[in-house]
Structure 1
Amino acid sequence: MRKESSISRPLSTPSPTPVQSPAVRMIEVTEEQDGQRLDNFLMRVCKGVPKSHIYKAVRGGEVRVNKGRVSPDDRLSTGDIVRVPPMRLPDPGAKRAVPPGEFPIVYEDEGLLVIDKPAGVAVHGGSGVSFGVIEALRASRPQARFLELAHRLDRETSGLLLIAKKRNVLLSLHEMFRKSEGRKHYFALIEGDWVNDRQHIRFGLTKWTTQTGERRVKVDEAGQAAHTIISLVKRFKGYSLVDAELRTGRTHQIRVHLAASGFPIVGDDKYGRDQTRAAFARKGFSRMFLHAHRLEMLHPLTKEPMVLEAALPKACKKLLDELDAQ
């Protein structure tokens, strides 16, 4: 096991000139790629192609698996044949525009890497972002044969992020999250006076897309089952600090569950209040107050119990001190 701290180094460099790939490719899924999400598979096969282009090709039916239409989050199996259409790819002779980067390490061994992701950093490229945590880590560790995100955090969410260094570790973590066997805890600062010490929220959730193409999530009785447990940590004047435990892992789950309950997260630009976000920005707090602070799970290889923790960032601690002084 290794514990250490290193800081990411953001770097801006020009993107390579894109060129058109020559023809449709039929790619067979290998044993090492078994269980991988289609979108992650395509991002590795089509390096440099914006994620938005990949999603458009999948949803338009240009990408097919075994001649059938698929969704970006479908998982592949060994022997599947993936149809990859011509897409704008980087010039093979151009240097990759991803700078190497490292992040504060919470835990690392031969199969697992856990970092403390800063707020404002995407976990992967796409949606207007050239690169994210996973691309920067791959660039900084060219000797690593395998580095894949085991789960995701929103760009403005900070805290514990798991990266698999082996295929069997990735599959084990995916299985754990599917069965809700790990316990993921987040700190959230919310508007209002949270009354109950402990409350279960079970609102079904459905994804939808705005007219501008932005992905959102809404409460829907017919949507996917979603379960969040909210525990009160501390009350302030007009605000509450809560612990949110994810029992399912839906997109934007904590954010939507809290907003739909009448307690939006401070700084949430999608489901929070604009006037609240602006008021806190004037105080110097310009992020969403959501932090993945604790994860309890079995190690994916040894099955030994693990407790991983990431302390609140300084900006969040400072804000809580200010609220406490009021």
Structure 2
Amino acid sequence: MLNSGYAYPSHIQRGGLSVLDYLTREFRHSPREVWAARLSAGEVEVDGVTVTGGETLRAGQRLVWHRPPWQEPEVPLHFEVLYEDADLLAVSKPSGLPTMPGGGFLEHTLLMGVRQRWPTASPLHRLGRGTSGLVVFSLTREAGAALLRDWREHRIRKIYRALSAGRAEQDEYDITAPIGPVGHAKLGEVFAATSGGKPARSLARVLERRPDTTLFEVEIFTGRPHQIRIHLASVGLPLAGDPLYLSGGIARPDALPGDLGYLLHAHTLGLTHPRTGEQLSLEAPPPLPLRHVTG
């Protein structure tokens, strides 16, 4: 089935470019000829008027691409409710389900599924599409503001389970490799371990050594994109099946778009309830391959 389509708005900060030049420069996920075809089909408006592409943009104008309905990729749409009260909702999402709309996903997302039952729900964080586990939503504006403040001030404890390729030599790794965007021949730009990146810290503890893999518990103290995947790769232990990251925390040069194949699970979140002050420890049971044989 097709979804309902979506309108993507843009506010023009600086004028002088044609509509076609602006779209081609700002939204590189589609080549110039594709944007030209969309303009010819009447999908783009500027200040409510359909444009053909040659018009010159002015600062302050509002451009909207009306993307027609499309068929989204099939993904698991179920999720499990782990905690609910008047202020908070915690759910466990499966691997494969995007948290938020993006790319080819709009209605096949955790956000849309949650809002069918809780219209005021707002996610406080997001997990990568291939990552399973805990996602917390605020149900009131006040709860959201308080928890986002705690998130920014590092008062939320975040613990994951991860399966790495290879056997770890150490029992614990305190990883502080900076993370930032780097150029990529096929993907344009990806996050990776780089000296010019932002500070990041992960503490990885071995739970179990297996013949060809290591099961880790990883606590993160910052929230950089793909942090655990990059950090474990940076110490020579990339996630088993990771399609993007190699040892050293760098991206595979032949990597293609996609975010599946690895095993990473948001297991535990420790937080202070924004209204009652109660200390909550929320937990999402891990999938079988990420379960410790003794716990």
1:36-86 CA distance string (max 9 Å, x none): xxxxxxxxxxxxxxxx99x749xxxxxxxxxxxxxxxxxxxxxxxxx6722
Task: Say whether residues 1:116 and 2:127 are aligned partners.
Answer: no
Alpha carbons of 1:113 and 1:102: their partners in 2 closer, same or farther (altered >3 Å)? farther
Deviations, residues 117-165 of structure 1 (Å, cap 9, x unaligned): 1000000111222331102222x22x73x22110010000000001111
Larger radius of gyration: 2
CA-CA distance at 1:194 after TM superposition: 1.5
Inter-partner Cα distance in structure 1 for 2:183 and 2:103: 13
Q: 1:305 aligns with which of 243, 256, 279?
A: 279
Q: Give how far 1:316 is off.
A: 4.5
Partner in structure 1 of residue 41 of structure 2 = none
Aligned partners of 1:120 and 1:287 also within 8 Å: no
Instruction: Show structure 1 runs of 5+ residues with no match.
Output: 1-12, 27-51, 58-82, 274-285
1:200 matched to 2:188 = no
Aligned length: 239
The equivalent of 2:159 in structure 1 is 185
Q: Does 1:165 align with 2:139?
A: yes
Aligned partner of residue 306 in structure 1, secondary structure: strand
Q: What is the rounded CA distance, in whole Å, between the counterparts of 2:12 and 2:191 in structure 1?
A: 34
Amino-acid identity (%) = 28
Larger helix share, 1 or 2: 1
In structure 2, C-alpha distance between the alignment counterparts of 1:294 and 1:312, rounded to whole Å: 10
Question: Partners in 2 of 1:153 and 1:184 — Cα distance?
Answer: 12
The alignment yields a C-alpha RMSD, in angstroms, of 3.5
User: C-alpha displacement at 1:308, in angstroms?
Assistant: 0.7
> What is the DSSP-based 3-state SS (H/G/I as helix, E as strand, rest coil) of the residue aligned with 1:87?
strand
Q: Does 1:290 align with 2:278?
A: no
1: CA distance between counterparts of 2:7 and 2:282?
44
Q: Distance in 2 between matches of 1:262 and 1:226?
A: 17
State TM-score, norm by structure 1: 0.64
Q: TM-score, normalised by structure 2?
A: 0.70
Q: Structure 1's 125 and 239: CA in aligned 2 closer, same or farther, altered over 3 A? A: same
Q: What per-residue deviation string (whole Å, max 9, x for no partner) do you get for residues 156-214 of structure 1?
A: 00000011111222222221121111111111111122232222100111123534445
Describe the shift of the 1:25–1:110 C-alpha distance in structure 2 as closer, same or farther (beyond 3 A). farther
Pair 111,239 (structure 1): closer, same or farther in 2 beyond 3 Å:
same
Deviations 1:280-300 (A, max 9, x none): xxxxxx731101111111112
Distance in 2 (alpha carbons) for counterparts of 1:128 and 1:229: 34
Asked if the contact 1:299/1:306 (under 8 Å) is kept, the reply is yes
Aligned-partner Cα distance in 2 for 1:297–1:208: 33
Q: Structure 2 counterpart of 1:204, which letter?
A: P
Aligned in 2, Cα 1:18/1:119: closer, same or farther, shift over 3 Å? closer
Whole-angstrom CA distance in 2 between matches of 1:213 and 1:85: 28
Identify if the C-alpha distance between structure 1 residues 259 and 25 changes in structure 2 by more than 3 Å, giving closer, same or farther: closer
